Amino acid sequence: MKKIKSIVFLSFVFYASVFGQKYSLKHCLDYAKQSNSNIKMAYLDSKVSDEVVNEQIGRALPQISISGTIDDKLLIPTQMLPGEIAGRPGTFVPVKFGTQYSATAGISLTQKIYDPSLGVALKAAKLSRELSEQNVRKTDEQTLYNVSAAFYRALVVKKQLDNLKVILSVSQKNLDATQQKYENGLVKKIEVDKIKVTFNNTNSQVNQIELAYKQALNNLKFTIGMPVDSTIALTDDLPDELSALPEASNSKDFVESRIEYQMQQSTISLYEADRQNNIAAYYPSLSFYANYNYAAQRSEFDFLKGGKDWYTNSSIGVQLSVPVFSGFQRYAKVQESELNLEKAKENLKLTEQSIMVELSNYYIQYRNAIDNIKNEKENLELAESVYKNTQAEFSQGVSSSMDLIQTESTLRETQNNYFSKLLNLYIAKLDLEKSRGNLINFLNNIK
């Protein structure tokens, strides 16, 4: 299934690059889910935690090992035997025992019968895996937030650039018309110069916005994991203004839905498991063992020759290990884990308070952003209307060039304010949904 999704995604990327498909916010989010390095690394961390769980499960299974050694005794050990053996009572006779070469090979098995630390370690590994999965969700959320913010910035700058180019086009026509009147002796040279200054200012602003747009696209490509030298085009339409204000709810209703709060709860559980593991170090452990060995001794190195004896031995048994005294190390570890647990609980309280403050602040921020965009939209409509009427009057010779310059400057300023407030609205919406723990659901519902 994953391969099918990847093929579909790569087909989309190929289509977009070849046929000029414009990227919407949803396209950018889908691209990031497949290509963003932070998401990939978080997923790999989650897979690592899966293997840690398997590792802890393996500790409870039988442990089997095969070993072998070959010794070359360069100097054969000497033993002192009573002299009575050699007819020299009251003395000791040095005798060399053994052969120069010896070899052993064997297989051994151990199995834990009782070890309280095994269950605690497995529980801790599963909690760690849960924390890694939560970190994947947190990384997804933060990445999608960054992608959305970068997309909105780029798209708002694009709309600002498009509108400014319209003003520049009109300013060019005004300059040409005024130049023609000057050549016909109908206006003075100063009128041409005034219009030209305004045209140059607008043209300079267009150049600045074009540069800002290229930078915004580069930031967007980096955020979604697209090579910076790739070509990307955005949709022309701005998203809805998202001006519906959600009902204010008790902040506590959203606290538990925040991934930061859930991760802090998992951290507390991990510290509790660590405390239990340190306590388990006080208890005895019991293991079963079995082994089977071959051994041979040679005066010459001929272990591979057949027909020579190898001697076997085997044993089974149980091993009991009872911890007695560790120099108070176990006690210190238990105290350390209990302190970490208390610290984690305080951090949970702090996280809860922080989330409640964020909810309140982002709700106020979004409400203000809605009020601001309504005012700026009305101002923009008025500025466009005044500019349009002044343009008509200037063409008819009713309005002066100074009136045209002032209304054009006002329109540019009003547009800048509007698009700035519009971007603030989009970012405020993202912040509000994130603070409510609903950002991923909100973005998944965007068409």
> What is the pLDDT of the chain when averaged over all its residues?
90
> Is 295 a residue whose pLDDT tops 50?
yes
Contact 151, 234 (CB under 8 A): yes
Mean pLDDT of 126-130: 94
Q: What angle do CA 396, 400, 401 make, to 5 degrees?
A: 105
Mean pLDDT of 136-163: 96
> Is 445 a residue whose pLDDT tops 90?
no
Q: What is the pLDDT of residue 241?
A: 57
Q: What is the pLDDT of residue 249?
A: 61
Exposure string (b/e) for 175-191, b if CB count within 10 Å is 16 or more? beebbeebeeeebeeeb
Residue 93 contacts by C-beta under 8 Å, 6 or more apart in sequence? 80, 81, 82, 83, 85, 86
Question: CA–CA separation, 276 vs 184, rounded Å?
Answer: 96
E strands within 142-211?
none
Contact 111, 62 (CB under 8 A): yes
Q: What is the pLDDT of residue 253?
A: 74
> Is 9 a residue whose pLDDT tops 50?
no
**CA nearest 355: which of 244, 243, 246, 255?**
255
Number of Cβ within a 10 Å radius of residue 407: 22
Q: What digits encode the pLDDT tens for the residues 308-365?
A: 889 999 999 999 999 999 899 999 999 999 999 999 999 999 999 999 999 999 999 9
Residues forming beta bridges with residue 296, ordered by sequence position: 103
Q: What is the pLDDT of residue 55?
A: 93
Domain boundaries, the chain: 13-61+115-283+325-444, 64-113+287-322
Q: Specify the range with the lowest mean pLDDT, choosing from 79-83, 150-154, 436-440.
A: 79-83
Q: What is the pLDDT of residue 158?
A: 95
Exposure string (b/e) for 3-30, b if CB count within 10 Å is 16 or more? eeeeeeeeeebeebeeeebebbbebbbb
**CA nearest 435: which of 357, 343, 333?**
357
> Is 77 a residue whose pLDDT tops 90?
no
Mean pLDDT of 436-441: 92
What's phi and psi for 304, nearest 5 deg?
Answer: -90, -5
Q: What is the pLDDT of residue 350?
A: 96
Enter the pTM of the model. Answer: 0.85
Which residue is it, tokens 């050549």? 183
> Is 438 a residue whose pLDDT tops 60?
yes
Question: CA–CA separation, 1 vs 70, rounded Å?
Answer: 53
Cβ neighbourhood burial of 195 (10 Å; 0-12, 13-18, 19+) = buried
Which band of pLDDT confidence, cut at 50, 70 and 90, is reported for residue 301?
confident
What is the token pair recorded at 69?
A: 């050694």
The domain 13-61+115-283+325-444 having CATH identifier 1.20.1600.10: the answer here is: yes
Which band of pLDDT confidence, cut at 50, 70 and 90, is reported for residue 12?
very low
- DSSP class of 94: E
Q: What digits encode the pLDDT tens for the residues 214-253?
A: 999 999 999 999 999 999 999 887 776 566 677 666 667 7
What is the token pair recorded at 142?
A: 């933060």
Which band of pLDDT confidence, cut at 50, 70 and 90, is reported for residue 187?
confident
Q: Specify the range with the lowest mean pLDDT, choosing from 12-21, 55-64, 132-141, 355-364.
A: 12-21
Number of Cβ within a 10 Å radius of residue 301: 12
